[in-house]
A and B are shown apart, each in its own frame.
Chain A
Amino acid sequence: DAGVIQSPRHEVTEMGQEVTLRCKPISGHNSLFWYRQTMMRGLELLIYFNNNVPIDDSGMPEDRFSAKMPNASFSTLKIQPSEPRDSAVYFCASSFGGAGANVLTFGAGSRLTVL
């Protein structure tokens, strides 16, 4: 298995632009998580899906952020409009059975810079 695949690896955009980050989880995993990592705040859980259904989005910072999982093999995280404070590395992770029960596998991350 190629692991969790994220794209793009790097994104530089200007404030106000729409940003879409993509994730392909490991085949057979039924839980998917979006995390954000910054130096100041460390790793923060934004949202997680179980069987393609959003279960908890309480970590999503504000309405500018939205996430979808149209099928078991694809998820997107969208920021519209983007702001400089959104600059961070965004990680997607997947597992079978949930973050606590089993090992969580992370993607390589998408580094976002908003100018």
Chain B
Amino acid sequence: KQEVTQIPAALSVPEGENLVLNCSFTDSAIYNLQWFRQDPGKGLTSLLLIQSSQREQTSGRLNASLDKSSGRSTLYIAASQPGDSATYLCAVYPGAQKLVFGQGTRLTINP
């Protein structure tokens, strides 16, 4: 059974720092991995989708990497801003239309 783990559960850093969020999954047989952002009281917003054949994807200050063999993905946020404060979730797609989500990392950027 595929399990997705995100550590730490919460992270607080000062504005301007570069940071890395971690995601690990137990079964390397995935088609892709997605990173989402969730603001309090809101739905999830897709940030990046990495296909299994890709090693990384970039969007603005965000860079996501994927290492299938080790079952890991990282989300790198450059020059963090208070507006980046949110919960970040990763989800793997093992097939059969079922995304498997991690519990998320709650990120706080302090001005």
Query: Which positions in A face B, CB cutoff 8 Å?
Result: 4, 31, 33, 42-43, 45, 48, 50, 55-56, 91, 93, 98-109, 111
Select one of B43, B97, B104 contacting A56, CB under 8 A: B97
Asked if A31 contacts B43 (CB within 8 A), the reply is no
Question: Number of residues in B with C-beta < 8 Å to the partner?
Answer: 22
Main SS class of interface, B:
loop
Q: Which residues of the partner chain B approach A91 to less than 8 Å between Cβ atoms?
A: 43-44
Is residue B98 contacting chain A, with contact meaning CB distance below 8 A?
yes
Known contacts A42-B102, A42-B103, then 16 further A-B pairs from the complex at CB < 8 Å, ordered by chain A residue? A31-B97, A42-B101, A43-B101, A55-B97, A56-B97, A99-B97, A100-B93, A100-B97, A103-B34, A103-B46, A104-B34, A104-B44, A104-B46, A104-B99, A105-B46, A106-B43
